[in-house]
């Protein structure tokens, strides 16, 4: 597979550290609220990447954290803890909030066919590990204590801004007006590994540490959870594009300082889903959740299909009209798959079958071109191969695309059969009689029977799939 690597800013062939195996780390949700469909775009595209890597035969191990402590409302170590804010909003404890929204997150993922990673670790369960790594960073001279907090010293690194397109000025991003810079920092880019003296002293969850009672910073959790579960050399790390800086930049800084060597080879970043009036948000405008899609009558899989039709490295604009278009296209696609059941058996064509399989592989193997992969699916529908071969390819492709294509098609066929079986015997008898008259070219009689059927409140329609009858 060739994948764009944000670290080298090039498309590169993906070569695992250990042949046949693949380690993948994903930044998980901050569980202070429901995920919005923007967050879920990132998880959908990561899910397809994981499933494609498995499809190519790799034995993937995927790990995800759950941020239930330490993520401040600004990425720049300022502002309230997001979890605490959520707890206050809902008059619950932080742990109650974390449990509720973790469950809600995985319920949304299930509806979108996003597989749960092999290992899921809540940050609060790894406090000893964070303390161990921070202590080692202190010993190695990469961290210092100031004003009661432990900071990472970015000046100790040869290169800190590894993703290239950010600079010190970007640190101002997220630091709201009226929030003074942290005087404890030796360098503007330094970041907190452990807080004991925060401006927000009403923090609910705190732990003992060699530096006093406190709580971890956000970035250290992903480094520790990844290294503990996936070892010193990680194949791929993924997240939304906003994670690139400062979160992933800081993860690399502290992990490589701790390990003394390169940590992760490939970085996969999904660009944002925006609304037509700007950034998707949990607080302003309509809060776009999976439940909202369902309330409005959309099958969540239609949203997955909508995401598949654009490249993950382009930002995507969401509006209801675009989603309606995706729903119509998806319905037609399912209709065409359902119609395969009525086709003749056809003749197998091994060569064409292999070509289609290869085309699908080429699409996803070229920087996860999901839209192209969907195009190959349409090619299968019209290909000159047998019916069984078509169904086999649809099933194979859907292992990666995750659209439940056969399930939807079977449901459609069943619904049609049920609708047909609703037809009273008396009407069915007239329909059959009319078919016989047409066959015998007795069109006068056929027309007469049609009028009779119409008068009884039923409509006859000639379609490509044959005669259909339904209520007026
Ligand atoms: P959070 O729960 O805020 O930690 O974010 C969860 C994931 O969603 C992270 O990987 C973010 O980078 C990603 N994300 C946040 N906003 C968006 C968006 N509008 N579109 C796509 N991904 C997003
Ligand atoms: Zn992370």
| CA-proximal residue: ligand 1, atom 5 (nearest) | 29
The set of protein residues with a Cβ atom below 6 angstroms from ligand 1 is 27, 29-30, 38-39, 41-42, 67, 239-240, 242-243, 270, 272-273, 280
Q: Which of 297, 331, 334, 302 is nearest to 318 (CA)?
A: 302
**pLDDT per residue over 423-458, tens digit each?**
888 888 999 999 999 999 999 999 999 999 999 989
Give 223 Cα–ligand 2 centroid separation in angstroms.
8
Q: Tell me the whole-structure pTM to 2 decimals.
A: 0.88
The pLDDT assigned to 374 comes to: 98
Which tens digits make up the pLDDT trace of 137-183?
999 999 999 988 999 999 999 999 899 765 555 554 434 344 456 78
pLDDT of residue 175: 41
Question: How many CA atoms within 13 Å lie on the side-chain side of 456?
Answer: 19
Please give the number of the atom of ligand 1 that sits closest to the Cα of 272.
20
Q: 81 near 93, Cβ under 8 Å?
A: no
Please report which ligand is nearest the Cα atom of 288: 1
| Annotation: CATH topology of 296-412 | 1.20.120
Q: Take residue 114 and report the two structure tokens written for it.
A: 């996003």
Superfamily of domain 2-270: HUPs (3.40.50.620)
| CA angle at 270 for the pair 266 and 275, rounded to the nearest 5° | 170
Mutate to test the pocket of ligand 1, among 6, 240, 241, 246 (most ligand atoms within 8 A of CB): 240
- Report the nearest-CA residue for atom 8 of ligand 1: 39
- The greatest distance separating any two alpha carbons of the chain, rounded to the nearest whole angstrom, comes to 98
The domain segmentation of the chain, as residue ranges, is 2-270, 296-412, 423-471
Q: Helix 300-308 and helix 94-111: axis angle, to 10°? A: 70
pLDDT for residue 87:
84
Task: Check residue 241 and give its pLDDT.
Answer: 94
What pLDDT score does 201 carry?
60
Chain centre distance of CA 256: 28
Which of 19-23, 96-100, 133-137, 252-256 is predicted with the least confidence, judged by mean pLDDT? 96-100
In this structure, what token pair is assigned to residue 167? 């600079």
**Whether 72 contacts 86, CB under 8 Å:** no
pLDDT for 115 beyond 80: yes
Residue nearest to atom 14 of ligand 1 (CA): 39
Q: What is the distance in A from the centroid of ligand 2 to the CA of 26?
A: 7
Structure tokens that stand for 433 in this block: 């009689």
Per-residue confidence band for 41, with pLDDT thresholds at 50, 70 and 90: very high
pLDDT at 459 over 50: yes
Q: Which residues touch 4 (CB under 8 Å, ≥6 apart)?
A: 10, 11, 12, 268, 313, 367
Closest atom of ligand 1 relative to the 71 alpha carbon: 4
For the stretch 233-290, pLDDT in tens is 999 999 999 999 999 999 999 999 999 999 999 999 999 999 988 888 777 777 899 9
| Dist. CA 237–CA 222, nearest whole Å | 10
Position 70 pLDDT exceeds 90 = no
């Amino acid at each position: 597979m060739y994948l764009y690597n944000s670290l080298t800013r090039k498309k590169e062939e993906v070569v695992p550290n250990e042949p046949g195996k693949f380690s993948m780390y994903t930044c998980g949700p901050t569980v202070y609220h429901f995920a919005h469909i923007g967050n879920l775009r990132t998880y959908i595209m990561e899910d397809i990447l994981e499933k494609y890597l498995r499809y190519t035969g790799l034995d993937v191990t995927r790990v995800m954290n759950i941020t239930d402590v330490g993520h401040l409302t600004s990425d720049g170590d300022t502002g309230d803890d997001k979890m605490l804010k959520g707890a206050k909003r809902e008059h619950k404890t932080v742990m109650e909030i974390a449990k509720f929204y973790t469950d809600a997150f995985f319920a949304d993922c299930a509806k979108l066919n996003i597989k749960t990673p092999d290992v899921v670790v809540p940050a609060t369960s790894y406090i000893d590990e964070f303390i161990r790594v921070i202590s080692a960073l202190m010993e190695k001279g990469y961290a210092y204590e100031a004003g009661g907090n432990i900071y990472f010293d970015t000046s100790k690194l040869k290169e800190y801004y590894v993703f290239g397109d950010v600079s010190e000025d970007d640190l101002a991003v997220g630091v709201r007006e009226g929030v003074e810079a942290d005087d404890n920092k030796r360098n503007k880019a330094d970041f907190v590994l452990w807080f004991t003296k925060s401006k927000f002293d009403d923090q609910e969850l705190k732990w003992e540490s060699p530096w006093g009672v406190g709580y971890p910073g956000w970035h250290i959790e992903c480094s520790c959870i990844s290294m503990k579960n996936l070892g010193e050399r990680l194949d791929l790390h993924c997240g939304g594009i906003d994670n690139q800086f400062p979160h992933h930049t800081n993860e690399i800084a502290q992990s490589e300082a701790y390990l003394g060597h390169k940590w992760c080879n490939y970085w996969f970043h999904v660009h944002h889903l925006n609304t037509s009036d700007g950034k998707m948000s949990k607080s302003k405008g309509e809060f776009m959740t999976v439940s909202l899609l369902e309330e409005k009558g959309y099958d969540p899989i239609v949203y997955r299909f909508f995401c598949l039709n654009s490249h993950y490295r382009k930002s995507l604009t969401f509006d209801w009209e675009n989603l309606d278009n995706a729903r119509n296209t998806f319905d037609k696609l399912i209709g065409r798959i359902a119609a395969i059941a009525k086709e003749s058996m056809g003749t197998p064509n091994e060569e064409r079958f292999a070509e289609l399989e290869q085309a699908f592989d080429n699409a996803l193997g070229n920087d996860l071109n999901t839209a192209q992969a969907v195009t190959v699916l349409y090619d299968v529908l019209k290909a000159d191969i047998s019916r069984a071969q078509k169904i086999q390819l649809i099933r194979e492709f859907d292992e990666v695309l995750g659209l439940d294509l056969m399930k939807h098609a079977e449901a459609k066929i069943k619904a049609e059969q049920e609708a047909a079986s609703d037809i009273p015997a008396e009407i069915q008898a007239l329909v059959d009689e009319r078919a016989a008259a047409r066959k015998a070219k007795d069109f006068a009689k056929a027309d007469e029977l049609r009028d009779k059927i119409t008068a009884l409140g039923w409509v006859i329609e000639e379609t490509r799939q044959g005669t259909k009858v339904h209520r007026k």
